[in-house]
Amino acid sequence: MSKNITFSKALHFELLWRAKIRRIPSLMKYVGISQNTAYRYKRMMEDHGFIEFKKRSGRKNQITPKVERKIIQKFRKMGHSRTVIGLSKKMHIGRESVRTIVIKNGYKWKKLRAKKLTEEQKSKRVDFCRTMLSDPSNIPFIIWTDETSFWLNKSKSGHGWVCRDGEDMDIESEAPINLNGPKVHVWGAISAKGKFKLYLFEENLTSELYIKILRSRLAEMKKVFPEGFYFMHDNDPKHTSRPVKEFAQKNLLEILPWPSYSPDFNPIERVWAWLKKKIAADSVENITELKKSIKKHRKSITTNYICNLINSLENRYQQAINHNGAFDIN
Q: Where are the domains positioned within the chain?
A: 9-48, 65-107, 117-322
User: Is 50 exceeded by the pLDDT of residue 168?
Assistant: no
Structural contact between residues 321 and 313, judged by C-beta atoms closer than 8 angstroms: no
Maximum C-alpha span of the chain: 88
3-state secondary structure of 160: strand
User: Is 50 exceeded by the pLDDT of residue 323?
Assistant: yes
**pLDDT at 295 (0 to 100):** 93
User: Is 60 exceeded by the pLDDT of residue 44?
Assistant: yes
Question: Average pLDDT, stretch 311-319?
Answer: 93
Over residues 286-304, the pLDDT tens digits come to 889 899 999 999 999 999 9
**pLDDT at 117 (0 to 100):** 85
Over residues 273-287, the pLDDT tens digits come to 899 888 877 777 788
Question: CA–CA separation, 104 vs 111, rounded Å?
Answer: 19
Return the H-helix or E-strand segment holding 189.
strand 183-191
Question: Average pLDDT, stretch 23-43?
Answer: 86
Question: CA–CA separation, 303 vs 173, rounded Å?
Answer: 25
Over residues 101-115, the pLDDT tens digits come to 888 888 877 766 666
Banded pLDDT at 87 (limits 50, 70, 90): confident
- Domain 117-322: give its CATH architecture: 2-Layer Sandwich (3.30)
* Cα dihedral 7, 8, 11, 17 sign: positive
**pLDDT at 182 (0 to 100):** 79
Please report, as a single letter, which amino acid is at residue 56. R
**pLDDT at 175 (0 to 100):** 35
3-state secondary structure of 171: strand
Question: Average pLDDT, stretch 130-149?
Answer: 93
Question: CA–CA separation, 293 vs 295, rounded Å?
Answer: 5
User: Is 60 exceeded by the pLDDT of residue 155?
Assistant: no
Structural contact between residues 161 and 88, judged by C-beta atoms closer than 8 angstroms: no
Over residues 194-238, the pLDDT tens digits come to 999 999 999 989 999 999 999 999 999 999 999 889 999 999 999
Read off the DSSP letter of residue 286.
S
Mean pLDDT taken over the chain: 82
Is the pLDDT higher at 147 or at 97?
147
Question: CA–CA separation, 52 vs 45, rounded Å?
Answer: 9
**pLDDT at 307 (0 to 100):** 95
Is the pLDDT higher at 211 or at 329?
211
- Across the chain, the runs of DSSP E, i.e. the strands, are 107-111, 113-114, 142-151, 159-163, 170-171, 183-191, 194-195, 199-201, 230-232, 254-255
User: Is 60 exceeded by the pLDDT of residue 149?
Assistant: yes
Question: Average pLDDT, stretch 144-158?
Answer: 76
Banded pLDDT at 159 (limits 50, 70, 90): low
The alpha carbon of residue 136 and the mean position of all alpha carbons in its chain are separated, in whole angstroms, by 31
Name the nearest CA neighbour of 88 among 104, 102, 107.
102
Q: Residue 270 phi/psi, 5° resolution?
A: -70, -35
Please report, as a single letter, which amino acid is at residue 330. N
> Directed axis angle between helix 65-77 and helix 84-91, to 10°?
130
Return the H-helix or E-strand segment holding 129.
helix 119-134
Structural contact between residues 41 and 51, judged by C-beta atoms closer than 8 angstroms: yes
